Amino acid sequence: MYPHPDFPDPAAGRATTARPAVEAARTALAGEGVHVMPAADVLACTGADEAAWARFAAHWEDLSEDAYAARRGTHRLRRYGHFSLAPATGELRLLPHTVFVQPDNTNPLYETVDRHFEPLTDAFVADPVLRSVLGLLGRAAGALDAAEWWSVKVHPFRVLATADGGGEPTPEGRHRDGVTLVSSLLVGRDNARGGESTVYSPEGAEVLSVTLEEPASLLLSDDRATLHGVSPIRPVNDDAPARRDVLVTTLTPG
């Protein structure tokens, strides 16, 4: 199966790649408050090969409509789940499904609003790639705070757009999530242009801007010290829709 241009063999050098990649992320988060981890490093850290990633990405075919985004003209699919993660041991516990609420002074569209989303499927919760990704995020978040347990909120998103519009990954514009670490993992994109992720200082200065193009590339930022937003996507070929699949995960001590 290997070599493959997008999915280098994670077994070939995983031990020598994973630790420096995590340390680089921790150093950048503690310093600049933002870091982009290349796909090859994410795959090495999680041990995901091409087959495992394909199985993981297939969960995005089983998302539900986001009625709240639809009211503002955005075609977005999603699910939601809440975990507790012990960074010292990697123990991960799925918590009971509840409404999703963002705190005051964060998201101007939805703060303090009870939003009801479909839970993660059992297959998604059990997927080894998801569990490895959450473990990686827990190790990275340790650069920002010491937590015996992390409260981990997981949001798989699919944003779709046509030539007429509808592809707003962040219809609320630049915002905070009211957490410690916020991350965006690109799972896939097709026929899409745009989708540029930008991280800002609290005063509005641009800290970093990147378009996640390669599956498994990961954007991390310190949500306490930055704001973030994503530009709209539009089709490259107007005869077919544009698609952008991401996993947004947030961590706070809890």
In tens, the pLDDT along 118-130 reads: 999 999 999 999 9
Alpha carbons 53 and 187: distance in angstroms, whole number = 9
Q: Identify any residues that bridge with 189 across adjacent strands, giving them in sequence order.
A: 244
C-alpha distances out from residue 100 to 72, 81, 119, 133, 154, Å: 18, 9, 11, 21, 11
For residue 247, give the H/E element and its range: strand 242-253
User: Among residues 178, 197, 184, 201, which one has the least CA distance to residue 252?
Assistant: 178
Alpha carbons 96 and 94: distance in angstroms, whole number = 7
Classified as helix, coil or strand, 42 is helix
If pLDDT is split at 50, 70 and 90, which confidence band does 5 have?
Answer: very low
**CB of 132 within 8 A of CB of 146?**
no
If pLDDT is split at 50, 70 and 90, which confidence band does 33 have?
Answer: very high
Rounded to two decimals, the pTM is 0.90
User: Among residues 22, 254, 17, 238, which one has the least CA distance to residue 137?
Assistant: 22
